[in-house]
């Protein structure tokens, strides 16, 4: 289980307070009545419950809706007019996708560009130190012109590429899951009461993916060029 994912998700759960460790303990206690011990199974269980939006600790969760007071009997004239107006409003409701297009709410290429740049900021210093270490070892042995040196550097690039790709996918997946949850909440609000929502009139052009710019580091720049060429 990725502890970073659990840390990010627990901070968005309503009805909790304190540090992320305290929130984990509060949430697990609300779900099970037991003390959180930090095991893998407990963490996976909480991630699953967060995805299902099971929040027993949130105020008002699971409480029955109050019984409405009986409405006064309508006059014979008011009843058909009220029903007709309600039916007419329901018939004129615009589809949710026209009010808030998913592609406008969550632009896939924009998010991928953002998270790729975030991953690059993490890995570029590691690439710099890795290549400096390899070249330093060969220099100490008087092998700066050895073909094995460039081979070792390229293998280091490939290892870092795999790790960076994992981070990109994880960051993107987290953003996508959060966006789907928020988008669904907005749709529920719209379907319960469309007042205040209007169809989108903004002409939106999807964002084009932008690869991370070349690193300012001496060696990481070479890696960044090589990696961006792989994604073209």
Q: Tell me the average pLDDT across 7-18.
A: 82
Which pTM does this prediction carry?
Answer: 0.55
> Could you tell me if 205 and 77 are in contact, meaning their C-beta atoms sit under 8 angstroms apart?
no
Tell me the two tokens of residue 109.
């290429």
User: Domains of the chain: which residue ranges?
Assistant: 3-51, 98-230
pLDDT tier for residue 151 given thresholds of 50, 70 and 90: very high
Listed residue (170, 46, 51, 50) closest to 38, CA to CA: 46
Q: Where are the alpha helices (DSSP H) in the chain?
A: 3-10, 20-32, 40-51, 78-91, 96-99, 102-105, 108-140, 147-192, 220-230
Listed residue (180, 177, 120, 170) closest to 1, CA to CA: 170
Q: How far apart are CA 199 and CA 197, in angstroms?
A: 7
Tell me the two tokens of residue 78.
């008011």
Tell me the two tokens of residue 45.
């269980």
82 alpha-carbon distance from chain centroid: 43
* pLDDT, position 3: 54
* pLDDT, position 68: 47
* pLDDT, position 203: 77
* 144 vs 57, residue with greater confidence: 57
Listed residue (137, 159, 158, 155) closest to 146, CA to CA: 137
Give CA separation, 60 vs 23, 34, 63, 65, 182, in Å.
18, 21, 5, 9, 20
pLDDT tier for residue 66 given thresholds of 50, 70 and 90: very low
- Phi and psi (nearest 5°) for 198? -130, 150
The mean pLDDT of the chain is 81
Maximum Cα–Cα distance for the chain, whole Å?
102
Is the pLDDT at 103 greater than 60? The verdict is yes
pLDDT tier for residue 81 given thresholds of 50, 70 and 90: very low
Is the pLDDT at 51 greater than 90? The verdict is no
Convert the pLDDT of each residue in 166-201 to its tens digit: 999 999 999 999 999 999 998 998 888 887 777 777
Give one word for 227, left, alpha or beta, with left for phi > 0 and alpha for psi -120 to 50: alpha
Q: How far apart are CA 118 and CA 120, in angstroms?
A: 5
* pLDDT, position 57: 83
Q: Tell me the average pLDDT across 204-210.
A: 87
Q: Tell me the average pLDDT across 103-115.
A: 92
């Amino acid at each position: 289980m990725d502890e970073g994912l659990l840390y990010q998700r627990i901070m968005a759960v309503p009805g909790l307070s304190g540090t992320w460790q305290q929130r984990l303990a509060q949430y697990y206690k609300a779900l099970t009545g037991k003390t959180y011990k930090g095991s893998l199974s407990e963490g996976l269980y909480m991630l699953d419950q967060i995805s299902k939006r099971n929040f027993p600790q949130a105020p008002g969760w699971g409480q029955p809706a109050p019984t409405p007071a009986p409405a006064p009997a309508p006059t014979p004239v008011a009843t058909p007019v009220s029903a007709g107006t309600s039916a007419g409003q329901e018939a004129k409701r615009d589809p949710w996708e026209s009010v808030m297009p998913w592609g406008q709410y969550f632009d896939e290429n924009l998010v991928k560009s953002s998270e790729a740049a975030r991953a690059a900021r993490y890995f570029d210093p590691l690439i710099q130190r890795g290549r400096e270490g390899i070249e330093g070892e060969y220099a100490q042995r008087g092998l700066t012109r050895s073909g094995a040196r460039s081979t070792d550097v390229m293998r280091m690039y490939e290892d870092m590429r795999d790790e960076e790709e994992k981070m990109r996918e994880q960051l993107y997946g987290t953003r996508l899951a959060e966006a789907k949850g928020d988008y669904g909440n907005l749709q529920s609000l719209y379907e319960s009461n469309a007042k205040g929502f209007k169809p989108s009139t903004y002409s939106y052009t999807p964002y084009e993916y932008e690869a991370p710019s070349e690193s300012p580091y001496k060696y990481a720049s070479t890696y960044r060029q090589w990696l961006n060429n792989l994604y073209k």
